[in-house]
Amino acid sequence: MRKLFILCGFLVLAAACSEEDTPMSTSTPSTVLISSNFENDLDGWTEGSHASNFGTVTHLDREGGIVKLDGVGFDGDPNAWIEKEILLPADAKTLRISTSAHDRNNGEVSLRVRLVDGSATSHTLLDWDPLKTEDEGFEFFPQSFDISAYAGQSVTIFLEIGDIDGGGNNQRYIDYIRVYK
């Protein structure tokens, strides 16, 4: 009887996971409260760019829908970004994103993830994280952030890219953004 219960629990767990959840961790997935998959468009995210840094934001149909942030500028200076005001549910705990550097060899760019709370205070969740492509093709990496301190608040989430050393292939791709319980 115990083996049957464990098997049933595994089947329920497997049914609750989507393909995008499986690389996140091997722990039990949480309930998705808010999701942006970028299947058809920017899913209500607003694009922004630094005018003097040639920044752009583009929705692409690749990989089931992704967002490309592109820009040339200076280290630590946001070139392009997406932002969205979100009312976090009272039980929100985790913000998860999936991101890749450019799909060409030696693509490299930094990503900063910020949350601006209801009192207009900016909180950096990820500070200019560099990511470099070693091979041709997209290689998406999941990243998770604890946002439980902001649960129940209206917040604005920013995903910003910054150039690394002014080279080529300075793009970062976002596959999905989710808030979990």
**Mean pLDDT in order along the chain per 10 residues (181 residues):** 35 36 47 95 93 81 90 75 97 96 74 96 94 75 96 97 72 94 94
Check residue 106 and give its pLDDT.
67
Q: Is residue 175 part of a domain?
A: yes
Query: Bridge partners of 114?
Result: 124, 158
Q: Is residue 17 part of a domain?
A: no
Q: Strands (DSSP E) along the chain, which ranges?
A: 32-36, 46-49, 56-60, 66-70, 80-87, 94-101, 108-116, 122-132, 141-146, 154-163, 171-180
Check residue 119 and give its pLDDT.
95
Q: Is residue 5 part of a domain?
A: no
Q: Is residue 8 part of a domain?
A: no
What CATH number is associated with residue 43? Answer: 2.60.120.260
The count of domains in the chain is 1
Check residue 19 and give its pLDDT.
39
Check residue 166 and give its pLDDT.
60
Q: Is residue 22 part of a domain?
A: no
Q: Is residue 55 part of a domain?
A: yes
Q: What global pTM score does this model have?
A: 0.80
> Which has the closest alpha carbon to 169: 132, 140, 121?
132
Check residue 10 and give its pLDDT.
31
Domain boundaries, position 120: 31-180
Check residue 21 and give its pLDDT.
43
Check residue 51 and give its pLDDT.
67
Check residue 63 and give its pLDDT.
75
Q: Is residue 18 part of a domain?
A: no
Query: Bridge partners of 83?
Result: 46, 158
Check residue 9 and give its pLDDT.
36
Query: Bridge partners of 113?
Result: 126, 159
Q: Is residue 59 part of a domain?
A: yes
